[in-house]
Structure 1
Amino acid sequence: MHYSLITIWNISLQLYGYENVTNIVPPYNAFSAQGTPEGDLIYVNYARTEDFFKLEREMSINCTGKIVIARYGKIFRGNKVKNAMLAGAIGIILYSDPADYFAPGVQPYPKGWNLPGTAAQRGNVLNLNGAGDPLTPGYPAKEYTFRLDVEEGVGIPKIPVHPIGYNDAEILLRKVRMHVHNTNKITRIYNVIGTIRGSVEPDRYVILGGHRDSWVFGAIDPTSGTAVLQEIVQSFGKLMSKGWKPRRTIIFASWDAEEFGLLGSTEWAEENAKTLQERSIAYINSDSSIEGNYTLRVDCTPLLYQLVYQLTKEISSPDDGFENKSLYESWLEKDPSSENKNFPRINKLGSGSDFEAYFQRLGIASGRARYTKNRKTDKYSSYPVYHTIYETFELVENFYDPTFKKQLSVAQLRGALVYELADSKIIPFNIQDYAKALKNYATSIYNLSKKHDQQLRDHGVSFDSLFSAVKNFSEAASDFHRRLTQVDLNDPIAVRIMNDQLMLLERAFIDPLGLPGRQHIIFAPSSHNKYAGESFPGIYDAMFDIENKADPRSAWTEVKKHISVAAFTIQAAAGTLKEVL
């Protein structure tokens, strides 16, 4: 029996209260290959590397020549497609499983905020090393730029991909025919850039950017973030009308085509890379301001930890039961750090939004903040109606943030970050937090390696150089902050020297010869899940599944190489903190 996915998405277009809307984009995965593959259907769980390993190594199931069906969640959808291609699949169907996208005890939309069975999650399935236009990797997609042919585009899938809802997933039988008629074409996109020129250091930039394109209505992603960006711009406009000017230049950016692979932000970063690397203090992301309504979530460079803590103590908590308390207090109580219960949890930056090119490739200190779910009890992926037609204004107004106070808190934090970074005489970065983070990350990757203890000894692999470099960096950070407390704030040259060292520290962790598209030695998206941030990604990737590598000696040599590169990079970063001769 065959099921045409053309029929499936027509059924799935039924939307409560929006029946008369005629221009809804039907469910599809951007950059899918065209085709009509037909074959046996194999369920591959989340289509992670380990899922295919289980099928092949433990169950003796070969996916070659088969169509696979995978549930969304755990990893970026583009990684799922890449893994399916590597396993020999001729097509992949993606669906949102109720186990991952349906919270117990909550009605489906419109009676509640849960995912209806007809909803299909859209999204791009590019799998680039980095982000941006797959036809101009590493370079801006301008009229003069050389372009690859679409068939040669970097990271574009070679097999058809299509999303469906869980109602449709239930009726698929063992044999399926896919009809995917996506067409890829070159089209113009538009970024909107606004600036406030700095009054003292106009050649130093603080960037606030967020995308405005969405899959269908996009009330949460990105509109909850777009609204915050607009409010912050308006607030700075009011300050300027009263005569205020920032010390440094502020750049506001509304990015286009984020949903197609961070295109607008990445192409602008590539076009202006040299200038941005020379002049940028920080990039603050303004994507979705809510993905839940339980507590604050922050992902950022360790340089921003102290500033985030300070600012959240000055913002009122919007949470019930925390009246007359700060955002910091509610955040700390609801989500303390696993490393130190005296501080709220802050996550590593991975990918999946517009900060990627600025942080991972250009080495610009970056951060993002939004409201999120309870990560301990709410085990569903993202928010249930993510990237579906049910992501409407009514969803936000009726269920997620009826008073809009949580989005206000996010706006206050994002705006305050921009204000402090742009107007403080000394850039409010704390390098000692970076030193503590490096120590934690080095310990973590070392502990991960200990399950291969015998192989470490057999192949002469040692982490001593890494721990030595971290120790030297910690000492340099302490000495830097000692000197920072003694700097003459009335001496513009002395202030500029210290600020330049602060600004350029993140750049010191960028290795031009590093992992393709992931040049940050300390933080990068995982090669197995682009959404997740990985510390010491080179070492981590080299050790992944190392026990099954065909040539163990060369595999462990690769581990030694990446330990050496990480140690050198940290040592070199420590050198940038020394007193200027």
Structure 2
Amino acid sequence: MYVVKRLFRLMDPCCVHVNSRLQQQLCMHISLLFIFLFMFSKKNIFIQVTASPVTDCLHPLHRKFTRLPHLAGTEQNLRYAEQIRKEWLEFGLDSVEMVPYDVLLSYPNKSQPNYISIVDQLGSEVFNTSLAEPVPAGYEDVSNIVPPYSAFSAKGQPEGDLVYVNYGRTEDFFQLEREMGINVTGKIVIVRYGKIFRGNKVKNAMLAGAKGIIMFSDPADYWAAGVQPYPDGWNLPGGGAQRGNVLNLNGAGDPLTPGYPAKEYTYRFSLEDAVGLPKIPVHPIGFHDAIHLLKKVRMNIHTNNQLTRIYNVIGRIRGALEPDRYVILGGHRDAWVFGGIDPMSGAAVVHETVRSAGRLLSKGWRPRRTLIFASWDAEEFGLQGSTEWAEDNAKLLQERAVAYINADSAIEGMYTLRVDCTPSLHTLVYDITKQVTSPEEGEEGVSLYDSWHKRDNWTNDRDAPRINKLGSGSDFEAYFIRLGIAAGRARYTKNKITERYSSYPVYHSVYETFEIVERFYDPSFKRLRAVAQVRGGLIFQLADSLLLPLDVNQYADSLRKYAKSIAQLAQRHPEQMKMYEVSFDSLFSAVENFTIAARDFHERLQTLNREDPLQVRVMNDQLMYLERAFIDPLGLPGRPFYRHVIFAPSSHNKYAGESFPGIYDALFDIENSADPEKAWEEVKRQISIAAFTVHSTAMTLTPPA
């Protein structure tokens, strides 16, 4: 096998140290070798082909796309889109197109910068926060670095007393009001980043009556112990601040065209009626500025919201036998500044995967199903590029999409793998990671699966590594939660026990550069290679397996756990459940029906005549449409674009995924409801919706009439 890998390395165009004549001499031998591998090791070929050359290409590729700032809607991001389109065509994709949308984006006012002031009793400003971050060495001459700001903040110059509200979570505001008797109405609140999505913090502040909100990265949440600030280490310098959007879209996409693609002909709401925009000024600062803020402050926020054209890049490899079945690999390329980790560590993986797929095409391979590759724009502004394309192609995708694999940041830590996906993908993830080698020093010859299992701090007595539920905060949202397409994501992450900071410290700051990855996160680029192999392995198996590698029994196992968990949450209120006659029997019965149907389906799958294309197609369609059956067209209460009955982002933290979200939201803080009877009636209604959906989905697994 070493010889095989070495031969593929020699033929790789990235390896310029090999002369072209030698490459030509090897081509014939490699073609024959490829045929041998394809015939006898089809399951492993994608991983084998990418094993050696990928690190050599990822390094310069990552450097190329992180040299300059490329905020969504800017000329540089458009240039990157054009470059990606050109190179994907050169790699050999059947078609590549740039798809534009006109969406609402948000930028700082260059002539009126945003800042926070301390004001004295006369109203004079006695201290102002920094207007920009200190630029890292080597980037002093780079222009168009956008200063820290909160995208879509309301304009305004509110002045008032400052109140600290911890992380700005619902429970933090509850504690302030219920236990401490502090009312923030008419006040400006300051919160630290972490724990929940920043947009949820802003929503909570608005609901509490605050007239402005300031956010900062506390060293307690964004500093790793014993690590120096950048450039001497990978911690956030005191002058660094986290950019980010503060929308509450709940899956709507463009705030002006919720539910529909932002094309030229599309009707648009006015700014006053736009979906999800905050009504109060918001601004992020560094912790060096935060320590100076005293009792009374003034916010000076002049951010502009404006209609802007964005561009997705969509590439396709037409399937040989089932061209009407789509497997999608998508990740965004827009970044707040350089995007060293978010998103370009992931975008480089997509680019390399496309190149590897093109290399396979040149050797005669073609996938059974169509592969679609996507470079999304404007993810940082509320997942807009991916959502608009999903809306634009919703009817087609609902009919034809098999799976969506997300390719955002590939490396957010230096410890182990993290996977979030729908339960039907669990078995495939485990199979692929058993074939990939661990990138960690001292683990030569150890599989990524075994390394992940050993390092997974949440595993305890589990017999397999933990796989997380999908929440939101990245481009899979519309595909999974609105359209019901099986989805997953994989990336390298931190040690959750010893590294307690909320995110990687330099997240969305100017210090998120190529150098921080090269020097600290992945000097050998072996972790990125491992992630590339997992993501590539997922799409290859989904696109090329005779039978779709989706496991219905895994879904049944997960449903049993989720139903038990949500029932236990409700049983914290035994007296109320008895008083209002609340029962989970119907849900448990539906889950049992699903379990039986899944078991029967799996048994039929084992005895399927694989030589009969009609039987194969019928079973594959049942597998593909399984996720679709969990979609409720009416959506969740107050969140019509979140339609998945089993999974949705938490109402109180967009980043976190909840199971049976309708029931969970109905139970949240129910003990403090002003109308307990009405609240428990809603719990009963949500249980009935969940039971109906699970039972109906079980029916889709039964044999055709």
> Quick check: TM above 0.5?
yes
Q: Report the CA distance between 1:328 and its aligned residue.
A: 0.4
Pick which of 105-114 and 131-140 moved more: 131-140
After TM superposition, the structure 1 = structure 2 runs for residues 453-532 of structure 1, keeping only pairs within 5 Å, are: 453-515=574-636, 516-532=640-656
Aligned to 1:451, the other structure's residue is in SS state coil
Matched residue, 2:320: 199
Matched residue, 1:281: 402
Q: 1:431 is aligned with what amino acid?
A: V
After TM superposition, the structure 1 = structure 2 runs for residues 81-160 of structure 1, keeping only pairs within 5 Å, are: 81-160=202-281
Query: Which of 184, 188, 213 is the aligned partner of 2:334?
Result: 213
8 Å Cα contact 1:5-1:178 kept in structure 2: no
Matched residue, 1:256: 377
Q: Measure the CA separation in 2 of the matches of 1:204 and 1:12.
A: 47
8 Å Cα contact 1:9-1:27 kept in structure 2: no
1:261-282 deviations in Å (ceiling 9; x for gaps) = 0000000000100000000000
Q: Measure the CA separation in 2 of the matches of 1:573 and 1:6.
A: 60
Q: Measure the CA separation in 2 of the matches of 1:9 and 1:326.
A: 47
Matched residue, 1:238: 359
Distance 1:246 1:320, change over 3 A: same
1:183-216 deviations in Å (ceiling 9; x for gaps) = 0000100000000000100000000000000010
Q: Measure the CA separation in 1 of the matches of 2:518 and 2:450.
A: 25
Matched residue, 1:37: 158
Q: Measure the CA separation in 1 of the matches of 2:133 and 2:457.
A: 41
The reply on whether 1:564 has 2:685 as its aligned counterpart is no
Aligned to 1:92, the other structure's residue is in SS state strand
Q: Measure the CA separation in 1 of the matches of 2:240 and 2:386.
A: 29
Q: Report the CA distance between 1:151 and its aligned residue.
A: 1.8
The reply on whether 1:553 has 2:690 as its aligned counterpart is no
Q: Measure the CA separation in 2 of the matches of 1:163 and 1:15.
A: 19
8 Å Cα contact 1:257-1:264 kept in structure 2: yes
1:347-399 deviations in Å (ceiling 9; x for gaps) = 00000000000000000000000000001221101100000001011110111
Q: 1:531 is aligned with what amino acid?
A: Y
Q: Measure the CA separation in 1 of the matches of 2:444 and 2:127.
A: 51
If the length of structure 2 is used for normalisation, what is the TM-score?
0.81
Matched residue, 1:539: 663
1:278-316 deviations in Å (ceiling 9; x for gaps) = 000000001000000100000000010000000101011
Q: 1:278 is aligned with what amino acid?
A: E
Q: Measure the CA separation in 1 of the matches of 2:615 and 2:518.
A: 50
8 Å Cα contact 1:6-1:179 kept in structure 2: no
8 Å Cα contact 1:336-1:342 kept in structure 2: no
Q: Report the CA distance between 1:338 and its aligned residue.
A: 4.0
The reply on whether 1:54 has 2:175 as its aligned counterpart is yes
Q: Report the CA distance between 1:339 and its aligned residue.
A: 8.0
Distance 1:204 1:35, change over 3 A: same
Pick which of 225-234 and 8-17 moved more: 8-17
1:392-415 deviations in Å (ceiling 9; x for gaps) = 111101110000000000001101
The reply on whether 1:364 has 2:492 as its aligned counterpart is no
Pick which of 480-489 and 128-137 moved more: 128-137
Q: Measure the CA separation in 2 of the matches of 1:26 and 1:271.
A: 33
8 Å Cα contact 2:649-2:657 kept in structure 1: yes
If the length of structure 1 is used for normalisation, what is the TM-score?
0.99
Q: Measure the CA separation in 1 of the matches of 2:380 and 2:590.
A: 39
Query: Which of 406, 425, 429 is the aligned partner of 1:304?
Result: 425
After TM superposition, the structure 1 = structure 2 runs for residues 395-406 of structure 1, keeping only pairs within 5 Å, are: 395-406=516-527
Q: 2:663 is aligned with what amino acid?
A: I
Q: Measure the CA separation in 1 of the matches of 2:396 and 2:189.
A: 45
Aligned to 2:432, the other structure's residue is in SS state helix
Matched residue, 1:429: 550
Q: Measure the CA separation in 1 of the matches of 2:547 and 2:159.
A: 62
Q: Report the CA distance between 1:512 and its aligned residue.
A: 0.7
Q: Measure the CA separation in 2 of the matches of 1:231 and 1:66.
A: 50
Q: Report the CA distance between 1:13 and its aligned residue.
A: 3.6
8 Å Cα contact 1:131-1:262 kept in structure 2: no
Q: Measure the CA separation in 1 of the matches of 2:252 and 2:376.
A: 14
Q: Measure the CA separation in 2 of the matches of 1:492 and 1:340.
A: 42
Gaps of 5+ in 1: none
1:525-567 deviations in Å (ceiling 9; x for gaps) = 0000000000000000000000111100000000000000000
Q: Measure the CA separation in 2 of the matches of 1:112 and 1:409.
A: 24
Aligned to 1:479, the other structure's residue is in SS state helix
1:75-129 deviations in Å (ceiling 9; x for gaps) = 0000000000001111100100011001111100000001110000000000012
Q: 2:671 is aligned with what amino acid?
A: E
8 Å Cα contact 1:442-1:466 kept in structure 2: yes
Q: Report the CA distance between 1:15 and its aligned residue.
A: 3.1
Rg comparison, structure with higher value: 2
Q: Report the CA distance between 1:447 and its aligned residue.
A: 1.0
After TM superposition, the structure 1 = structure 2 runs for residues 153-172 of structure 1, keeping only pairs within 5 Å, are: 153-172=274-293
Q: Report the CA distance between 1:5 and its aligned residue.
A: 12
Paired residue total: 581
Q: Report the CA distance between 1:152 and its aligned residue.
A: 1.4
Q: Report the CA distance between 1:444 and its aligned residue.
A: 0.7
8 Å Cα contact 1:4-1:178 kept in structure 2: no
Q: Report the CA distance between 1:11 and its aligned residue.
A: 5.2
Pick which of 325-334 and 126-135 moved more: 126-135
Q: Report the CA distance between 1:247 and its aligned residue.
A: 0.4
Q: Measure the CA separation in 2 of the matches of 1:179 and 1:205.
A: 48
Q: Measure the CA separation in 1 of the matches of 2:654 and 2:127.
A: 29
Pick which of 151-160 and 13-22 moved more: 13-22
Q: Report the CA distance between 1:17 and its aligned residue.
A: 3.5
8 Å Cα contact 1:292-1:400 kept in structure 2: yes
Matched residue, 2:306: 185
Q: Measure the CA separation in 2 of the matches of 1:224 and 1:31.
A: 26
Q: Report the CA distance between 1:451 and its aligned residue.
A: 1.1
8 Å Cα contact 1:33-1:180 kept in structure 2: yes
1:485-540 deviations in Å (ceiling 9; x for gaps) = 11111111100000000000000000011212211000000000000000000000
Distance 1:10 1:425, change over 3 A: same
